[in-house]
């Protein structure tokens, strides 16, 4: 297809428009001039007709009809007039016979006019003549192709004419003029030629001017834009349209430049994308073959398309691109706290650039994390993963986070098994060492008492619908924990503490109902297993030594052995609590028959003094005390009053103001006004009351002093407490002589 240039189209259409415009203007001008000239001629004919009619009437009134006829004949000699004739109403030529003369003479009844020579007779018969007769108005008929005009004027029967002609008719005749309009047409032609010349010259000038303007304003910018587009089409994105006008073409140039910039950027991005796609293909080969879980997160915590195939096998999910990281790990519902923690961690990785990544990883919530994975088939599978996070920067901002998963399920499982085996071996070694040190006979009674305590606990578990059972369970377990620690069975003490914690948690959650009896019973099973192990070891040592434990002197009543165990327990607890504590023991007896019953209570008092009474070294130094604290245990037999046991420490003493505040806070005291120290001491020795804000392996559950109180009460003894704030506390237990002798004779 042949192309026609814009420049040609502009010139062609401007010329065409000008030609049409000039032609229309010439036509309108000529027609106006023609109309004006013809109108002027008609006006002149009308005036001339009036003059001629008046002249003829005057001539005829004076009897000069021949002169009138001659006058009409002479007028036809003028250049414009082709014919001037007057016709009677019947269509005959006036002054061509004596009909009218005879009529006038007859009307006057006298010979008014003489007969004179007449014109050659003729008649007129055309529609225009008839129309004038009927309408009594003048009429012009133009014959432009012949360049002639016929004009018909009615000759009226005027009053001055009626004296001769009578009044029988309104019109006496019609004057006919045939006039040539060739001169007018010549004038029109000359005017047309002049106008054509003027308009042609003007049109050419205007056309040239318009073409130049269009060339500058439209054509050149279009050619320039076309050149730029052509260059861009050939791949040159450095060109720009240089048009400074503020019209549509200027805006088009700006848009074109923006488009070129966009195309240049698009081309760059396409090139980069090709490079990225090439790298992605290489990466995919790598990601599909590495045995490590790897994925990328964007700033919306969404998994990108870059992830290793191994992840699908590890988590049992496919098509994970586009998933929220939290949903990928925890599913669509649940785990709200873990989700919140993970989102906070990821936000810190993305935003907190001032903090070193190594420090942030210290709070990594997915370090050796156990997850319950729901696979695409809906199956729940537990796995353990160790997760590492790495920032990927773009400029100064973190664009992505690389997440690397290591499946540690088998490793952690094996480690747990090894740890359990290690603890079991450690427990056995611990038990063996304790038995060797104290003697199997000492442990046999511990095992017997422990079994009895656990049997009581199991019985209480079966009756959880009774409110007093839970405090009793916790009290028995707390006593067993103290005894296990006293016997240097640390692992068993830890397991008892774990059971205590679980039961306390259920109690706080309001779940201690019969439906949870099975859960509580399960927490006791590890204790029975541990106790069975101790029992088997004791039996093995017993059979090896062939010992007889029915001798008068029983190991459980041996005071020096009891003191040695307490010294060891205080030393270990002091190390754990980071307190320097010295235990000073004094006794005037070597055996104490009541010791097996009161032993757990004394252990509670020693542990309670270390946890509640003794300050840490900094508090002691700031109070002006020695860094090393002292606990004194004095046990002696009085000849008259029986047995006396004194536990004394130089710690912080009892803060009765704080005890009262805690009691009111717990709703144990309701009335206003001061409370006696005696009542506050009763609260200290009641079940469930604790002055500590948190639970530890030693105290905090409100169990301990109530065991002491119940044990002493069962032995019909008394407890007295003396305390000075910031000086220390002294607790004295007095047991009647008869009770001890009757029970342990």
Assess if residue 442 is contained within a domain. yes
Taking a C-beta distance cutoff of 8 angstroms, is the pair 125, 91 a contact? Answer: yes
pLDDT at 77: 64
What tokens appear for 303 in the block? 């998994």
Q: Do 309 and 166 fall within a single domain? A: no
Assess if residue 200 is contained within a domain. no
Q: Do 701 and 568 fall within a single domain? A: yes
pLDDT tens track for 402-461: 898 888 777 666 666 666 666 666 666 666 666 666 566 666 777 777 788 788 888 877
| % of the chain with per-residue pLDDT over 70 | 77
Q: Is the pLDDT of residue 198 over 50?
A: yes
Q: What angle do CA 441, 446, 452 make, to 5 degrees?
A: 130
Phi, psi of 303 (to 5 degrees): -75, 130
The model's confidence at residue 302, banded by pLDDT at 50, 70 and 90, is very high
The model's confidence at residue 649, banded by pLDDT at 50, 70 and 90, is very high
Closest CA to 723 of 624, 650, 616, 627: 650
Q: Do 512 and 578 fall within a single domain? A: no
Q: Do 428 and 528 fall within a single domain? A: yes
Assess if residue 221 is contained within a domain. no
Q: Do 544 and 571 fall within a single domain? A: no
What tokens appear for 623 in the block? 């109070």
| % of the chain with per-residue pLDDT over 90 | 4
Q: Do 319 and 449 fall within a single domain? A: no
Q: Do 384 and 428 fall within a single domain? A: no
Q: Do 589 and 723 fall within a single domain? A: yes
Lowest mean pLDDT among 255-259, 323-327, 388-392: 255-259
Domain's final residue, options 181, 211, 245: 181
Domain's final residue, options 407, 430, 458: 407
CATH code of the domain in which 150 resides = 3.30.450.20
Q: Is the pLDDT of residue 645 over 80?
A: yes
Q: Do 544 and 693 fall within a single domain? A: no
Closest CA to 47 of 182, 143, 159, 177: 177
Distance between CA atoms of residues 670 and 679, nearest Å? 13
Q: Do 392 and 437 fall within a single domain? A: no
What tokens appear for 632 in the block? 């004194």
Q: Within the chain, how many helices (H) and strands (E) appear?
A: 24, 14
Assess if residue 48 is contained within a domain. yes
Assess if residue 292 is contained within a domain. yes
Closest CA to 650 of 626, 671, 674: 626
The model's confidence at residue 630, banded by pLDDT at 50, 70 and 90, is very high
pLDDT tens track for 553-575: 456 678 888 888 888 888 888 88
Mean pLDDT over 305-310 rounds to 82
pLDDT tens track for 73-93: 676 666 677 777 788 878 888
CATH code of the domain in which 728 resides = 3.30.565.10
Assess if residue 487 is contained within a domain. yes
Assess if residue 105 is contained within a domain. yes
Q: Could you tell me which residue, 210 or 298, shows the higher pLDDT?
A: 298
Contacts of 413 (CB under 8 A, 6+ apart): 384
Q: Could you tell me which residue, 538 or 647, shows the higher pLDDT?
A: 647
The model's confidence at residue 201, banded by pLDDT at 50, 70 and 90, is confident
Q: Do 105 and 54 fall within a single domain? A: yes
Q: Do 368 and 401 fall within a single domain? A: yes
pLDDT tens track for 214-245: 777 777 777 777 777 787 777 777 778 777 77
Domain's final residue, options 551, 582, 610: 551
When divided into structural domains, the chain yields a total of 4
CATH code of the domain in which 518 resides = 1.20.120.160
Assess if residue 260 is contained within a domain. no
Mean of the per-residue pLDDT values for the chain? 77
Range of the domain at 639: 559-745
């Amino acid at each position: 297809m042949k192309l026609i240039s814009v420049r040609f189209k502009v010139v062609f259409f401007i010329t065409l428009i000008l030609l049409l415009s000039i032609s229309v203007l010439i036509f309108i001008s000529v027609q106006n001039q023609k109309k004006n000239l013809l109108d002027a001629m008609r006006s002149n004919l009308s005036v001339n007709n009036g003059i001629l009619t008046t002249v003829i009437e005057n001539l005829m009134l004076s009897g000069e009809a021949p002169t009138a006829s001659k006058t009409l004949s002479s007028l036809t000699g003028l250049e414009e007039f082709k014919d001037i004739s007057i016709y009677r109403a019947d269509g005959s030529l006036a002054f061509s016979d004596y009909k009218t003369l005879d009529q006038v003479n007859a009307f006057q009844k006298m010979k008014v006019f003489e007969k004179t020579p007449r014109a050659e007779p003729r008649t007129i018969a055309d529609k225009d003549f008839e129309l004038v007769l009927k309408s009594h108005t003048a009429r012009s008929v133009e014959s432009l192709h012949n360049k002639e005009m016929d004009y018909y004027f009615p000759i009226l029967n005027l009053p001055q004419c009626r004296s001769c002609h009578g009044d029988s008719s309104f019109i006496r005749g019609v004057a006919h003029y045939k006039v040539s309009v060739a001169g007018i047409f010549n004038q029109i032609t000359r005017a047309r030629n002049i106008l054509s010349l003027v308009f042609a010259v003007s049109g050419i000038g205007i056309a040239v001017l318009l073409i130049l303007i269009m060339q500058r304003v439209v054509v050149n910018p279009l050619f320039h834009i076309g050149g730029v587009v052509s260059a861009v089409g050939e791949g040159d994105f450095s060109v720009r349209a240089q048009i400074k006008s503020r019209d549509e073409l200027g805006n088009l140039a700006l848009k074109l430049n923006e488009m070129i910039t966009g195309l240049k950027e698009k081309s760059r991005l396409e090139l980069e994308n090709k490079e990225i796609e090439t790298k992605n293909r290489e990466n995919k080969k790598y990601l599909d073959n590495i045995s490590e879980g790897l994925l990328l997160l964007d700033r919306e915590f969404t998994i990108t398309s870059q992830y290793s195939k191994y992840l699908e096998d590890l988590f049992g999910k496919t098509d994970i691109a586009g998933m929220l990281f939290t949903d990928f790990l925890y599913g669509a519902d649940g785990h709200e706290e873990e989700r919140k923690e993970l989102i906070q961690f990821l936000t810190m990785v993305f935003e907190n650039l001032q903090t070193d990544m190594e420090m942030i990883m210290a709070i990594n919530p997915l370090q050796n994390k156990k997850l319950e994975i729901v696979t695409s088939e809906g199956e729940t599978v537990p796995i353990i993963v160790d997760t590492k996070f790495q920032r990927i920067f773009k400029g100064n901002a973190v664009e992505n986070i690389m997440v690397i998963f290591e499946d540690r399920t088998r490793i952690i499982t094996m480690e747990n098994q090894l740890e359990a085996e290690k603890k079991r071996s450690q427990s056995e070694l611990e038990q063996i060492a304790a038995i060797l040190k104290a003697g199997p006979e000492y442990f046999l009674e511990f095992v017997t008492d422990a079994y009895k305590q656990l049997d009581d606990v199991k019985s209480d578990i079966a009756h959880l619908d009774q409110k007093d059972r839970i405090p009793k369970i916790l009290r028995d377990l707390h006593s067993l924990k103290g005894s296990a620690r006293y016997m240097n069975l640390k692992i068993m003490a830890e397991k008892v503490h774990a059971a205590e914690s679980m039961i306390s948690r259920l109690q706080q959650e309001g779940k201690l109902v019969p439906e949870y009896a099975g859960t509580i019973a399960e927490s006791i099973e590890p204790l029975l297993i541990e106790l069975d192990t101790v029992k088997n070891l004791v039996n093995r040592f017993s059979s090896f030594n062939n010992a007889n434990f029915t001798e008068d002197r029983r190991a459980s009543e041996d005071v020096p052995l009891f003191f040695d165990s307490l010294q060891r327990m205080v030393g270990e607890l002091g190390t754990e609590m980071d307190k320097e504590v010295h235990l000073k023991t004094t006794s005037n007896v070597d055996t104490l028959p009541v010791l097996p019953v009161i032993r757990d209570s004394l252990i509670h008092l020693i542990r309670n003094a270390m946890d509640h009474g003794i300050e840490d070294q900094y508090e002691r130094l700031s109070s002006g005390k020695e860094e090393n604290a002292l606990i004194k245990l004095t046990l002696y037999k009085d000849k008259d009053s029986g047995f006396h046991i004194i536990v004394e420490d130089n710690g912080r003493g009892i803060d009765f103001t704080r005890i009262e505040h805690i009691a009111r806070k717990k709703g144990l005291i309701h009335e206003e006004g001061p409370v006696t120290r005696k009542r506050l001491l009763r609260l200290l020795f009641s079940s469930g009351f604790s002055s500590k804000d948190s639970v530890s392996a030693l105290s905090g559950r409100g169990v301990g002093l109530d065991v002491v109180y119940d044990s002493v009460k069962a032995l019909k003894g008394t407890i007295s407490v003396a305390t000075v704030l910031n000086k220390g506390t002294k607790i004295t237990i007095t047991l009647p002589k008869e009770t001890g002798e009757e029970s342990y004779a």
